[in-house]
Chains A and B, each alone.
Chain A
């Protein structure tokens, strides 16, 4: 125990509440009290572990098929699409490409999906995004992802040329095909009715016929 104004009990309350930000009075007490210093050191060590504990391993966290909790819809069900327009819809494709790549890189585990997803799971994702996707090729990953202020369908489709990420963008209008390449991903942005479809491949290029097939499979909600 020291002669400092604060007693040990109050010092430990302060240390236990906010060990990273201690007042000069608490620091003064600590400089003269070995027991409280030990308590402070233990708490700081605990805080380091606490920080590590809270930093959940995200690959493990994301390695899960998205749940279908809000909708149990058949594949053909279409949900009305209520969107507000905005100037950002018509942004230059180069900026869009960067955003698409950043999003896909944020879900890097999606490339590793192998098993075909159940039809009702895919339908749930498409329903949330307000779109139909009638592909003959197996969909191995489907997530309703936020993108530019809207929920869109982010899919990974297995093709004979390897997996392709397909992002269905009803809110993004483009007038012509645009190829892009960034951070090891190659992609094509294609017009699809009032919206667009982004098709990305990892490593190689996107096969043009595969990209066309993806666009043909898309039907926006009316």
Chain B
């Protein structure tokens, strides 16, 4: 069967775009889920959903935030659908995950473990901001929060990490 005209040129770059961004999507999903198996599942669902919705992406430059948003939704959907239990910080398997270890840089390993142990409400906006490149307004919109609430959460997330990093914490907002 002959390929329909126009189908070839658009889809192949999109496929490559997905492959190019997949590593970052996996990282993002891991920091949300703190479980690499869940992260793999989330990213697979994300890529399948993205493919089916590819016409929605008008500007390839917007692919990264678009895909990160799908990852977030798929992550939330997975927990809704499967009713996965909320993981207690003390029981986070990711703490022993070799991916958190950094050869020759114990400080980085400690920082990763500290991020894993941040409460969801602090870790999620922080990862969205630093890894995802979202603005605080975009984070607020996605999380259904006010922008001041997001700023407070981001401040508190960094404040906790300051202590792990050996710095004095700043005075809190409250």
Contacts and interface: CB of A to CB of B under 8 A. Distances in A.
Interface string A139-161: 00000111111110000000000
Contacts of A16: 154-155, 158-159, 170
A62 B44 CA distance: 14
Contacts of B170: 9, 12-13, 16, 39
Contact of B8 (A18, A91, A145, A149): A91
Interface in B107-162: 107-108, 111-112, 115, 126-127, 129-131, 135-136, 150-152, 154-155, 158-159, 161-162
Contacts of A105: 19
Contacts, number: 151
B70 to A, nearest CB: 12
Interface of A is mostly: helix
Interface residues of B, number: 62
A52 B108 contact: yes
Contact of A95 (B12, B102, B158, B173): B12
B27 A58 contact: yes
Contacts of A55: 27, 131
B2 interface: yes
A9 B159 CA distance: 13
A220 B135 CA distance: 46
Contacts of B16: 98-99, 102
Interface residues of A, number: 55
Interface centre among A50, A67, A92, A102 (most CB of B within 10 A): A50
A90 B3 contact: yes
A137 interface: no
A50 B1 CA distance: 51
11 contacts: A14-B151, A16-B159, A54-B131, A61-B30, A66-B40, A67-B37, A90-B7, A91-B8, A103-B19, A148-B51, A150-B48
Interface of A: 9, 12-14, 16-19, 21, 39, 42-43, 46-47, 49-58, 60-62, 64, 66-67, 69, 87-88, 90-92, 94-96, 98-99, 102-103, 105-106, 144-151, 173, 175
